[in-house]
């Protein structure tokens, strides 16, 4: 079993500051027309981030990519769903995920969107974990960077729980 850290790792205020900086950086560096968010973990991040791109033409789409069961370890196997009617042919896509951990999800999804005909795919993650990278991939835009640890809150879950919490917390093994 796991318990929450005593203090948030990132407070709601720190997250909002970071999302604003990230939004401004993306707006300066990448002219895109479609945001593709990966459900479910990125739904809060996408909703905050997208409001820094006040261009009426930008579309927001969500697809689901699961590699996690109800545990804190990646299964490594990617299952893509909700993408049946995804129309991104010729589009310049900003792919948004919550966490870059082993990199298998982001690598798989960049390839998936390219195969669907996207003209360009650049990626953005709320948080990257440096310690456990397996795939040779970097996100183009990164919010927070931590060494390791399992985090929840601000859309991130553990077995479906913790998503509605405004701060980001670390889950620690119960001793
Ligand atoms: P990767 O394929 O890079 O190993 O894992 C990426 C996916 O695993 C993310 O989209 C995220 O859903 C999930 N994930 C990885 N680390 C964490 C974490 O610390 N907390 C939560 N809640 N999900 C994580
Ligand atoms: Mg995910």
Q: Does residue 175 surpass a pLDDT of 80?
A: no
Cα torsion through 63, 116, 59, 154, rounded to 10: 30
Write the residue with the smallest CA distance to atom 23 of ligand 1.
156
Position 75 confidence tier, pLDDT thresholds 50, 70, 90: low
Q: Ligand 1 centre and the CA of 106: distance in Å?
A: 10
Question: Which of 122, 139, 111 minimizes the C-alpha distance to 36?
Answer: 122
Q: Does residue 124 surpass a pLDDT of 60?
A: yes
Q: Does residue 82 surpass a pLDDT of 90?
A: no
User: Which of the residue ranges 8-22, 24-38, 72-86, 105-119 would you say has the lowest mean pLDDT?
Assistant: 72-86
The values of phi and psi at residue 161, to 5°, are: -100, 170
Q: Does residue 70 surpass a pLDDT of 70?
A: no
Mean pLDDT score, 68-89: 73
Write the residue with the smallest CA distance to atom 10 of ligand 1.
99
pLDDT, tens digit, 9 for 90 and up, residues 91-116? 999 999 999 999 999 999 999 999 99
The bound ligand whose nearest atom lies closest to the alpha carbon of 108 is 1
In order of start, what are the domains of the chain with their CATH numbers? 12-147 (3.40.50.2020)
Question: Which of 115, 110, 127, 119 minimizes the C-alpha distance to 32?
Answer: 119
pLDDT, tens digit, 9 for 90 and up, residues 141-157? 999 999 999 999 999 99
> For residue 17, what is the enclosing H or E element?
helix 12-29
Predicted local confidence at residue 94, as pLDDT? 98
Residues with CB under 6 A from ligand 1: 38, 41, 67-68, 74, 97-106, 150-152, 156-158
Asked if residue 113 lies in contact with residue 93, where contact means CB atoms within 8 angstroms, the answer is: yes
Q: Ligand 1 centre and the CA of 17: distance in Å?
A: 22
């Amino acid at each position: 079993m796991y318990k929450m850290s005593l203090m948030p790792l990132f407070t709601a205020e720190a997250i909002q500051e970071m999302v604003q900086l990230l939004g401004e950086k993306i707006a300066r560096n990448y002219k895109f027309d479609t945001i593709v968010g990966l459900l479910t973990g990125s739904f809060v991040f996408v909703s905050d981030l997208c409001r820094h791109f006040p261009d009426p033409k930008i579309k927001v789409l969500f697809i689901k990519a699961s590699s996690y069961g109800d545990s804190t370890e990646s299964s490594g196997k990617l299952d893509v769903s909700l993408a049946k009617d995804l129309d991104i042919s010729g589009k310049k896509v900003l792919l948004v995920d919550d966490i870059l951990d082993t990199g298998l999800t982001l690598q798989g999804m960049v390839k998936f969107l390219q195969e669907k005909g996207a003209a360009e795919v650049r990626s953005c993650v709320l948080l990257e974990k440096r310690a456990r990278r397996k795939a040779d991939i970097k996100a183009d835009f990164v919010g927070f960077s931590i060494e390791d640890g399992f985090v929840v809150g601000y859309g991130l879950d553990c077995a479906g729980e913790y998503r509605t919490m405004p701060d980001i917390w670390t889950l620690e093994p119960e001793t």
